[in-house]
Amino acid sequence: MTQQAEMNELKHTSTTHDHNGCRKKAIHTAEQLCSQRGVRFTPIRREVLELIWESHRAVKAYDLLDRIKPKAGTAKPATVYRALDFLLEQGLIHKVESLNAFIGCSFSDRRHEQLLLTCVKCYEVEERPGERVMEAIAKELEQASFTIQRKAIEIHGICGRCAPTET
Annotated binding residues, written as ranges, equal 119, 131, 159, 162
Residue list, annotated binding site for Zn(2+): 119, 159, 162
Q: Which residues are annotated as a binding site for Fe cation?
A: 131
Number of H helices, E strands in the chain: 6, 5
Helices (H), the chain: 3-10, 20-37, 43-52, 61-68, 77-89, 131-143
> What SS3 string covers 112-124?
CCEEEEEECCCCE
